[in-house]
């Protein structure tokens, strides 16, 4: 085991009557990319913002590089870089100016031109912030998070709202951070992002960590099962799916029936027979190999995107 750079124990935080965090605990080791995966409102951003020193927990322990984020001030800020869920800058600030401005606040500074090149912003160096596309703004936010060559990088939903091409570009950047042995704590609600980028993942729901491990370990829970999603012309007779051959569990989400099967071919044959018996029709059928989504469904009875 390496050294824990981020340590969170029994973190609680409420906003009025809403409990955003209900005893969250995890730790992140040096050089690790750690993901907080969960649906919107799960408490991921609250946890990250407490670790960035931007929010005060009601109780519990939060330490980054051995420091209390809320009380450590300048020394703490020198150690971290962060991309907020949504970054805003003045419309009329130029790309290079923004990077240089933030670099000047720190003792340790990365080379501005290097950052511009690395984040493919070289051609946009004199462009105003208001002239940038969503992807360029996010790349700038990432560049600004690295102006001080931080030890720990927080990325809060770094690809949310971006198109797939830009998302892949951001993945490349995060993979570069990973190769550079930066400690990264990122939040996401994209399964593929967590599976591709994270060394370890904590699945968060309703303010609690409900599962924690490497993507491989987590998926192992659903090992040997296949997720089958079907849409039907008419609703299924209650409980009929549970009795199909090979079905381990099933749930219905907005008209889509989701089954986990240990013997997919037999389940499909049985399903077709059942539909014929009910004079029902199959509108669509999709099969998926196990993913973190299945763990989430198994543990919460809901889908991540709900």
Partner 1 sequence: MRHTWTLTKVRMRLAIRNKAFFFFSLIMPLIFLFGALSMFARGANAWVGYVLGAVLTTTVMGSFWGLSVQLVTFREQGILRRFRLAPVGAGPMLASSILSNYFMTLPTVVIEMVICRWAFHMRSWGNVWAIFVLVTFGSAAFSAFGLIVASVTNTMQETQMINNLIWTGFLFLSGATIPLAIFPAWLQRVSLFMPATYLATGLESAATNLASRGEMTTDVLALALGIFVAFEISRRLFRWEPEARVPRSAKLWVLATMIPFLIFGTYENVRGSRLSRIQQDYRILSMRSMAAQGPQDHSGDRSGER
Number of residues that bind partner 1 (CB under 8 A): 24
Cβ proximity to partner 1: between 93 and 160 the closer is 93
CA distance 71 to 271: 59
> Looking at 5-13, 103-111, 276-284, 292-300, which segment touches partner 1 (CB under 8 A)?
103-111
Binding residue for partner 1 (CB under 8 A) from 19, 70, 78, 298? 78
Other C-beta atoms within 10 Å of 301: how many? Answer: 11
> Which tokens hold the place of 139?
């790349």
Q: Does 89 bind partner 1 (CB under 8 A)?
A: yes
172-179 LR contacts (CB < 8 Å, sep 24+): 173/119, 173/139, 173/142, 174/33, 176/118, 177/33, 177/153, 178/33
**Per-residue interface string for the shown chain with partner 1, residues 243-282, x marking contact by CB under 8 A:** ----------------------------------------
**Per-residue interface string for the shown chain with partner 1, residues 30-69, x marking contact by CB under 8 A:** ----------------------x-x---------------
Are 231 and 284 within 8 A, CB to CB? Answer: yes
CA distance 59 to 10: 7
The helix/strand/coil state of 3 is coil
Q: Does 4 bind partner 1 (CB under 8 A)?
A: no
Cβ proximity to partner 1: between 25 and 85 the closer is 85
Cβ proximity to partner 1: between 52 and 205 the closer is 52
Cβ proximity to partner 1: between 76 and 296 the closer is 76
Alpha helix (H) residue ranges in the chain = 44-51, 73-79, 95-103, 112-118, 134-145, 164-179, 191-197, 215-220, 264-277, 292-300
Q: Does 149 bind partner 1 (CB under 8 A)?
A: no
> Which tokens hold the place of 222?
């659903």
Q: Does 137 bind partner 1 (CB under 8 A)?
A: no
CA distance 107 to 79: 10
Chain contacts with partner 1 (rule: CB under 8 A): 52, 54, 73-74, 77-78, 80, 82, 84, 86-90, 92-93, 97, 101-102, 104-106, 128, 144
């Amino acid at each position: 085991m390496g050294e824990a750079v981020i340590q969170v124990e029994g973190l609680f935080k409420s906003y009025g009557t809403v409990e955003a965090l209900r005893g969250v605990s995890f730790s992140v080791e040096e050089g690790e990319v750690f993901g907080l995966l969960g649906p919107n409102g799960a408490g991921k951003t609250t946890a990250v913002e407490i670790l960035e020193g931007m929010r005060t927990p009601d109780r519990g322990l939060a330490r980054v590089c051995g420091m209390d984020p809320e009380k450590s001030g300048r020394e703490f800020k020198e150690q971290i870089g962060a991309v907020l869920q949504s970054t805003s800058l003045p419309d009329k600030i130029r790309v290079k100016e923004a990077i240089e401005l933030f670099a000047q606040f720190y003792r340790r500074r990365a080379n501005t031109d290097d950052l511009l090149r690395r984040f493919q912003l070289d051609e946009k160096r004199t462009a105003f912030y208001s002239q940038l596309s969503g992807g360029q703004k996010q790349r700038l936010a990432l560049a600004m998070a690295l102006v001080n060559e931080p030890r720990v990088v927080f990325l809060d939903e770094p690809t949310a709202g971006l198109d797939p091409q830009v998302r892949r570009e951001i993945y490349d950047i995060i993979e570069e951070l990973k190769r550079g042995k930066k400690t990264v704590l990122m939040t996401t609600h994209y399964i593929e992002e967590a599976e591709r980028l994270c060394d370890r993942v904590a699945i968060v729901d309703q303010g609690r960590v409900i599962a924690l491990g490497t993507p491989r370990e987590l998926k192992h829970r659903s090992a040997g099962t296949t997720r089958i999603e079907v849409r039907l012309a008419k609703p299924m007779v209650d409980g009929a799916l549970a009795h199909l051959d090979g079905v381990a569990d099933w749930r219905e989400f907005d008209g889509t029936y989701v089954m986990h099967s240990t013997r997919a071919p037999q389940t499909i044959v049985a399903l077709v027979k059942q539909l014929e018996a009910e004079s029902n029709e199959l509108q669509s059928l999709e099969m998926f190999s196990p993913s973190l989504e299945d763990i989430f469904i198994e543990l919460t009875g809901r889908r991540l995107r709900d």
